[in-house]
Structure 1
Amino acid sequence: METKRYHRETLAAAAAALRAGQLVAFPTETVYGLGADATNEAAAKSVYATKGRPSDNPLIVTVANREMVARFATITPQAAKLMDQFWPGPLTIILNIHPGSLSKTVTGGLSTAAFRMPENALTRELIAQAGVPIVGPSANLSGKPSPTTAEHVLHDFDGKIAGVLDDGPTQVGVESTVIDMTVTPAAILRPGAIGPQELAPIIGFVDSEMHHVGASETPKAPGMKYKHYAPAAQVVVVDKPEQFAQTLKWAAASGQAYGVLATDAILQTVPRAIPQYSLGVDVKSATHALFAGLRWFDLHPTVTLVLAQAFPAAGLGAAYMNRLLKSAGNEHFNPADAK
């Protein structure tokens, strides 16, 4: 299969491919998604097969407008307030769906579904022209770092999907916040750029403690159950900047080929011969660069160990650390190991 690179002038062709049941990757302000007609069960199933995604990991339904949501789900007054304030934007809202309105392939067999209206105007136009909502998991092989450019998508799926709508690099760099509006109080199931500090003034108290999903449970949102975002190398989280000198000695003594994923201030202390990727200067730039950095190390297959900088898990740092810890399988540098 030839994977086409669509642009604004070929948007109609991309919409036609979606209507025909094919897969088209699309840009959002967070990461690129892998799109398929959410009302076409065969198309939705092909998303799981193409990504290698577990079948109990539900898909987000991506829409062009609020009317599309109302066709499938009950929009509560509280949910409507969030849509008024944050849509289009990086907020995914879980709602109770009308019985039988979406297939179990999309919902993971649940009576709820997650809905999102992305900020990217080109993608909203794509969905509008297709005339159907599209499922929109991140456009990467399951478990790998999410894509923030069309090139990342093609790295994983060239020859495997119909095309990718190229609108340049994404802006936020990590996936949307997921909030469950079917429980009281509302609960954040996946942190993102919009946190409880922005949500609480609109709808009151929001439960932001991360919920764990058991092996036999079906998660309500993506990213709650399985290891995600991991490059081929083992990622090790370095919790404090002052630990890097000790961590570098430990990594060198291990005999492994290692690399460093950190801010510029840290990288100034790293020998130039060591593969390194800059996270910029602060948590905002680090969040934007995280997935691109993890993917960069996959282009250096000799690297088997990546030392990655942590940030305080507050505000945007909560989203950053959620993704980083998943990429590392919760592996932290232990100073005791270096003695």
Structure 2
Amino acid sequence: MSNRESLLSLNDKITAAVTLLKAGKNVAFPTETVYGLGADITNVSAINQIFEIKGRPIDHPLIVHFAEVHLLDYWAIDIPDSAWLLAEHFWPGPLTLILPKSSHVPLNVTGGQNTVGLRIPDHPIALALLKALGENKALAAPSANRFGRISPTSANHVYEEFGSEVSMILDGGPCKVGLESTIISFYNSEAILLRPGGIPVELLEETLKQKIKLKENLNTSLRAPGGLSSHYAPVTALEVWPTEYIQQRAQQLNKNGLRTALIAWSGSDYFSQVTNENTHLFLMPADPIGYGHQLYATLRELDQDDFFCMLVEAPPTDPAWLAISDRLQRASYKTSIHL
């Protein structure tokens, strides 16, 4: 960002961003989850530009961000009562609802599907931007990174990723959640988890007073953001190992003289015997909220260093860690190592 832009007041920045969006440009903006790369949903050309900048397949849907709960039925139709209940309880917040799209949502936003992902972000700058866009406006936005790579949780991450390819970056500081939204769809009024995220499934179930089904247990071809097997990945190889095996893998790499980042949550004492000039220990918080907040920033930092690979201690199997387990599984998908 230019020095002049950094000196502008927030209102001036919002006004400048709206002007760019209405002119068919793209703007990166902060949310509580990760930074998004937004285009005016009514501008088909601007939306296509988002796919080009990211290198995103055109059949991979975007999420529509808007400002007010009562506008849900402007963007969606045939909304079940359970969707309204979740929207009223968790918005603004890290929850995306997949619903039948209205005629106001163009097909290039949905990847050609008749459903659309909708959410209201919980960030003051994002909400100010969405409200300033005007009536019956919204932003179609994926995360502001190259397709399949690590999501950005700061304005600097976006700049490192795209530079001048993005017309403007609104800096809202580090994202407070740091992981993408939970995605829920509906089938016969039953809620289905398509992607774990910033809201634990247990909280959604408490609100609905019913169990949420897993996509894997249903015969559905519905495509949702972040649903590919390989996603959120660093350039550096990333391997996830159970606590009882990760030391053995670190020692194997050390014997070959390979520089390794060991990312652990269970404490430094356990790993003290394997840290050396080749194996560098990076401790993460032992709670899922703190771990999720730091995960992407840590992976990005280590990805810029000269490591042969990242060894990640597998997170606990507790449901509170589900979103983190999901991201690490997808980030490590292309790495297949056997001891």
Which of the residues 265, 269, 276 maps onto 1:263? 265
Moved more, 312-321 or 254-263: 254-263
Structure 1 contact 11–126 (Cα < 8 Å) conserved: yes
Q: Give the deviation of 1:296 after TM superposition.
A: 1.0
Q: Which whole-Å CA distance do the structure 2 matches of 1:252 and 1:176 have between them?
A: 37
2:143 maps to what in 1?
Answer: 138
1:68 CA drift (Å): 3.4
Whether the 8 Å contact between 1:238 and 1:332 is mirrored in structure 2 is no
1:54 equivalent in structure 2? 57
**2: CA distance between counterparts of 1:82 and 1:178?**
11
Counterpart-to-counterpart distance in 2, 1:277 and 1:7: 38
AA aligned to 2:52 is: A
Identity fraction in percent: 33
Secondary structure, aligned partner of 1:172: coil
Task: Say if 2:267 and 2:283, in contact at 8 Å, map to a contact too.
Answer: no
Residue of 20, 27, 37 corresponding to 1:17? 20
Q: 1:278-297, CA deviations, whole angstroms, 9 ceiling, x for partnerless residues?
A: 32233322211111111112
* Structure 2 unaligned spans of 5+: none
* Structure 1, unpaired ranges of 5+: none
Q: Cα distance 1:51–1:218, how it changes in 2: closer, same or farther (>3 A)?
A: farther
1:83 and 2:121 correspond: no
Q: Secondary structure at the match of 2:165?
A: coil
What is residue 72 of structure 1 aligned with on the other side? 75
Q: Name the amino acid aligned to 2:61.
A: P
Q: Specify the alignment match of 1:304 in structure 2.
A: 308
Q: C-alpha separation between the residues in 2 aligned to 1:263 and 1:332?
A: 22
- The aligned amino acid for 2:101 is I
Structure 1 segments, 4+ long, off by >4 Å, are 1-7, 330-334
- With over 3 angstroms needed to count, the CA separation of the structure-2 counterparts of 1:105 and 1:218, relative to structure 1, is farther
Structure 2 residue corresponding to 1:181, chosen from 167, 179, 186: 186
Distance in 2 between residues matched to 1:155 and 1:48, nearest whole Å = 18
Find the counterpart in structure 1 of residue 200 from structure 2.
Answer: 195
Aligned partners of 2:121, 2:58: CA distance in 1, in Å?
24
CA distance in 1, matches of 2:142, 2:296: 15
Measured after TM superposition, the shift of residue 298 of structure 1 is: 2.0
- Which residue pairs with 2:248 in the alignment? 246
Distance in 2 between residues matched to 1:129 and 1:272, nearest whole Å: 53
Looking at structure 2, the residues matched to 281 and 202 of structure 1 have their Cα atoms a distance apart, in angstroms, of 27
AA in 2 matched with 1:161: V
Equivalence map 1:1-339=2 (5 Å) = 8-9=10-11, 10-74=13-77, 75-98=79-102, 100-131=103-134, 132-211=137-216, 219-240=222-243, 242-263=244-265, 265-266=267-268, 269=272, 270-271=274-275, 273=277, 274-300=279-305, 302-329=306-333, 331=335, 334=338, 337=339
CA RMSD, 1 decimal? 2.5
Deviation for aligned residue 1:135: 1.1
User: Could you list the per-position Cα deviations for residues 109-152 of structure 1 after superposition, in whole angstroms to 9, with x for gaps in the alignment?
Assistant: 11110101011022111011112200121111111100011110
Residue 188 (structure 1) shift: 0.7
